[in-house]
Chains A and B, each alone.
Chain A
């Protein structure tokens, strides 16, 4: 059996990649072989996954879903497609993290924030000028839908505190702390570590532009991972900027992926 554009077909012994393209989609100019684009012909083996794409062509919804999946690393997608990640805060960290997780096709995202998009967010947060004034969770859901419309995104327009954290994130496998202020970071980390038996990936120390290489992911307590240098606080003269916030958000995404794959 081989998979062509995510559909199973009987394997024909001796057939090559380009012979298969001739059969299924002769005008395809992108060939993805086992999750990786290739330019040269090769002999196929039983169990291979192949995708043929015509550059620039917008396929129908079913094929689109299959083509997005085609570039997911084999054995990764199968494990994370039914997982749920909770994102606490949809600012610089949360909006970038959500986009990375959507591109990975993590099955469900629960995203909570109470704020609206405003112009000073645009220096680092994944929103657009025409979204100013919208609730961040609604704007982010819309943006994620343009990247991967096949995900379950639950936008929760709520200020999080001890009284509602449990109900908000109870179905999530992993929680991401994406707040700005340290009091809120402390509250959610303490809550998750004491009330849930599930991991939380938090962030501390990502301001400014210097020493990006000092951003580390540290496992500081059971179920607690903290990304950042632990020290560099946002303050007057030490602002938050897209590069380091983006690095931290993507380190969060990568740690979350690693945790989901171990479950």
Chain B
């Protein structure tokens, strides 16, 4: 399956949900904001929302400091 993450085309296998994708990308789900096809995905839906071929994600991971 081919998707776009932060403007880059990537190919993924065995990844069905947003939560799976975050794990695969080594992103901590508590520290990210995820946009799927220009709609914000709320954290409580990460395990529910299925990824489809051609989906476009923006994923921002925040780091400490302020």
Q: Is the CB of A183 within 8 A of B65?
A: no
Q: Which 4 pairs across A and B sit closest by C-beta, in order of nearness?
A: A233-B63, A234-B65, A182-B62, A180-B66
Q: Given that A220-B58, A221-B58 are known contacts, is A190 also in contact with B43, CB under 8 Å in the complex? A: yes
Judging by beta carbons under 8 Å apart, are B66 and A189 in contact? no
Least CB distance from B23 to A in Å reads: 16
CB distance from B29 to the nearest CB of A (A): 9
A228 to B63, CA, bound (A): 10
Alpha-carbon distance A89/B62, docked complex (angstroms): 16
Q: Is A163 an interface residue (CB 8 A)?
A: no
Q: Which of the four size classes fits the interface of chain B?
A: 10 to 19
* A190-B33, A193-B33, A221-B35 known; A185 vs B62 contact (CB < 8 Å): yes
| Of the residues A189, A193, A206, contact of B65 by C-beta under 8 Å | A206
**Which of B30, B40, B64, B66 lies in contact with A193, CB distance below 8 A?**
B40
**A residues in contact with B24, CB < 8 Å:** none
Chain A contacts to B: CB under 8 angstroms: 89, 91-94, 178-183, 185-186, 189-190, 193-194, 202-207, 220-222, 224, 226, 228, 230-235, 240, 245
Closest CB of chain B to A236's CB: distance in Å? 11
In the complex, the answer to whether A232 meets B33 with C-beta atoms within 8 Å is no
- CB of B57 to closest CB in A, whole Å: 11
Closest residue to B40 on the A side, CB-wise?
A194
Instruction: Please tell me if the beta carbons of B62 and A204 are within 8 angstroms of each other in the complex.
Output: yes
A180 to B65, CA, bound (A): 5
- Report yes or no: B31 in contact with A182, Cβ–Cβ below 8 A: yes
Decide yes or no whether B10 CB sits under 8 A from chain A. Answer: no
Closest to A239 in B: B65
Q: Could you tell me the distance between the alpha carbons of A91 and B65 in the complex, rounded to whole angstroms? A: 10
B64 touches A234 (CB 8 A): yes
Tell me the residues in window 30-66 of chain B with beta carbons closer than 8 Å to chain A beta carbons.
Answer: 30-33, 35, 38, 40, 42-43, 58, 60-66
- Complex interface: chain B residues within 8 A of A220 (CB): 58, 60
Give 16 A-B pairs besides A232-B63, A245-B65 with Cβ atoms closer than 8 angstroms.
Answer: A89-B66, A93-B66, A182-B63, A185-B31, A186-B31, A189-B60, A189-B62, A190-B42, A193-B33, A194-B42, A202-B62, A204-B63, A206-B65, A231-B63, A233-B64, A233-B65
Asked if residues A203 and B65 are in contact (CB atoms below 8 Å), the reply is yes
CB distance from A94 to the nearest CB of B (A): 8
Instruction: Kindly report which residue of chain A lies nearest to residue B34, judged by CB atoms.
Output: A190
> A234 CA to B64 CA in the complex, in Å?
5
Q: Are A92 and B42 in contact (CB under 8 A)?
A: no
Instruction: Tell me the nearest residue of chain A to B29, going by C-beta.
Output: A186
Tell me whether A240 and B65 are in contact in the complex, defined as CB-CB below 8 angstroms, given that A190-B42, A221-B35, A221-B58 are known contacts.
yes
Q: Check A183/B63 contact, CB under 8 A, given A190-B43, A194-B40.
A: no
